[in-house]
Structure 1
Amino acid sequence: MTKIYNFGAGPSMLPGTVLQRAQEELLDWHGAGISVLEMGHRSQVYTAIAEKAEADFRELLDVPADYRILFLQGGATGQFSAVPLNLMGDKAKTAYLLTGVWSEKAAAEALRYGEVHVVATGRAESYTKIPQPEQWLLDSNAAYVHYTANETIGGVEFQQIPDVGALTLVSDMSSNILSRPVDVSRFGLIYAGAQKNIGPAGITVVIVREDLLGRANSITPSVFDYTKQANNASMLNTPPTYNWYMLGLVLEWLKEQGGIAALEQKNIRKSAKLYAAIDRSSLYSNPIGLACRSRMNVPFRIADTELEERFLKDSVREGLINLEGHRSVGDFRASIYNAMPEEGVDVLIEFMREFERRYG
């Protein structure tokens, strides 16, 4: 049987050992006599699972003590509303740096609750570059400045944390969290849907500085109120218990790999060799500026568009699945998150070379 390498952008592949362990523990978790799927979320045994996951997350990302870690529902899209509802306070304006589809969607949602100031936009260049800091127009009256650390669809990633001075910095890190070290103390809030680097779809992590709690608008739904969730250990309502458990298994796996610093070096190698293969080719191309190419999502095009269908069919036959680009842009995309082994990237590169030899 051909080995499968899943290059899907999300829900994405999970580490094989994590899936195997989940399978082994599915019917009876550590002698409890029941599955995690059946556990009461406030039971002593489940509370221990949840607390360990939070502790491992705090350790891996070196989260300071004055930040709360919340495990919520609604995905990053839910946070597009939750962030302004919780952080605007008595201010009427927010600020967004637009670098692709997801930052645009976040800004559009924030517009429901007040004025949105655009710090800068890369739309004129089809979101293939991040606007240079000297082009940014910060507004001191904004409640916060939001940016998307990695644009999953477009393949644009910030290589440094933006400098916004004394303003509160907020980031959507859904597709690159835990793939590189991050100085959490630079942020007021970080949020991330789990289904790319930290677990299955259905659970969302929010890291919020404590002094930002207590500002929620009165219309904020209780499940999206950070203060209420923080005061209830993310269990104001029944949380996605199994997803939280799976997230915990992934965190344990990350620690076994040597932590985030070790994974960053692996991610650098994987992305560098794939970009190098694309750049050497006369058939494939990548449109993203060199300074902001994503380590997580590598979009590419084929010069002869008539070969696109053949490329997808042949790649699937070789066990390389989910290489099609997002429906909004087409082309191709290889998502190479933490769980993608380096051998998977090597197999993809070899396939691309052989395909070009035959048809290029």
Structure 2
Amino acid sequence: MKKHNFSAGPCILPQSVLQKSAEAVLNFNNSNLSLIEISHRSKDFVEVMETAKSLALEHLGLQNKGYQALFLQGGASLQFLMTAFNLLENKAAYLNTGTWSDKAIKEARLLGDVVEVASSKNDNFNFIPKNYTIPSDADYFHCTSNNTIYGSQMQDFPETEIPLICDMSSDIFSRQLDFSKFSLIYAGAQKNMGPAGTTLVIIKEAVLGKVSRTIPSMLNYKVHIEKESMFNTPAVFPVYVSMLTLQWLKDLGGISVIEKINNQKAELLYNEIDRNPLFEGFIANKEDRSKMNATFTITNDELKASFDEQLKQSGINGLNGHRSVGGYRASMYNALPLESVQVLVSIMQAVEKGA
């Protein structure tokens, strides 16, 4: 039976990417060697790394604009600390919209003063704060574009004279933005780009070298730039799969094409959530809803068992909400086909008819 994979992360990947990566594990580039046993400094893998970095910058429209792409390790969680180590001299401003931004704030406070410009924490993160003021004397402003756990997403980003930093782990490459507004973007690959194990960092070189502290080599962006993401042995397989996924996206037509598909998927599901009295969305303001992670609950507990059984029978996987929130979460990343959302919606309608 076909599986419809709504997993929040590790994410669904294109079937063609899975096929090519599986082949590379057995025989990479017809070398009769596995991708995961060759030297990371071999010509074949260096080419993979360079292609992956180039494709990332190309998709974001940041080639030849003073930006560098890095593939590092430690997930977005390590970037919470690396961002502060490299950029926080005195004070930083943070917008708190979910669990991950809350964790980023905690790490930054180890290294300096953090101003929380706004937060939706007291309302269980069910909206994106608006109309906040960013202190002009802060070293940078940090936000999280999409909140996988609660299902909210920033639709607009503030205009600010200080560097704009964004954790885009769960919606990078999913929609068109003016990415040149950002001085640093980071994203764990496992949400919308590849398997767990590598993290993409896009950084404007001009913002580096302005803190007085000594930065440990492993946490220093300048070191990783100089070593071309090879300061330590990179996560070879995740980088390769990320490269294949970025190439798949390019062959599809790029971000402009996938954004239209993502909008279709989100509109289809949210229209059903709003129409069907048996389901209720988690996010208070419709304009704050995530197009990547739709969170919702079933309003009649007596029908939950029936709904869950129909999901299972239809091959739907990964729809359970995060353990801290409950309910359901449909993660509709780039590689999820529209057909999978249509199957989910049909089950929601079937449960309504049988009620």
Pick the TM interval, shorter chain.
over 0.9
Q: Deviations over 1:268-301 (max 9, x none)?
A: 0100010001100110010311111110000001
Structure 2 CA distance for aligned equivalents of residues 236 and 276 of structure 1: 48
Q: Deviations over 1:338-358 (max 9, x none)?
A: 010000100110011112222
TM-fit CA distance, 1:319: 0.3
Moved more, 281-290 or 215-224: 215-224
Q: Which of 326, 329, 353 is matched with 2:325 structurally?
A: 329
Structure 1 CA distance for aligned equivalents of residues 235 and 3 of structure 2: 28
Show the counterpart of 1:103. 101
Show the counterpart of 2:85. 85
Structure 1 CA distance for aligned equivalents of residues 239 and 213 of structure 2: 28
Question: Does residue 262 of structure 2 align to residue 263 of structure 1?
Answer: no
TM-fit CA distance, 1:326: 0.3
Question: Does residue 191 of structure 2 align to residue 235 of structure 1?
Answer: no
Structure 2 CA distance for aligned equivalents of residues 217 and 51 of structure 1: 31
Which amino acid is 1:92 matched to?
Answer: N
Q: Which of 112, 116, 119 is matched with 1:118 structurally?
A: 116
Matches within 5 A, 1:1-360: 2-65=1-64, 66-88=66-88, 91-133=89-131, 136-163=132-159, 165-215=160-210, 218=213, 220-288=215-283, 289-359=285-355
Q: Is the 8 A contact 2:69 2:202 kept in 1?
A: yes
Q: Which runs of 5+ in 2 are unaligned?
A: none
Structure 2 CA distance for aligned equivalents of residues 8 and 196 of structure 1: 9
TM-score relative to the length of structure 2: 0.96
Structure 1 CA distance for aligned equivalents of residues 282 and 9 of structure 2: 22
Structure 2 CA distance for aligned equivalents of residues 192 and 313 of structure 1: 34
Q: Is the 8 A contact 1:149 1:176 kept in 2?
A: yes
Which amino acid is 2:71 matched to?
Answer: F
Q: Is the 8 A contact 1:312 1:324 kept in 2?
A: no
Structure 1 CA distance for aligned equivalents of residues 254 and 279 of structure 2: 33
Number of corresponding residues: 353
SS at match of 2:191: coil
Moved more, 144-153 or 301-310: 301-310
Q: Is the 8 A contact 1:148 1:172 kept in 2?
A: yes
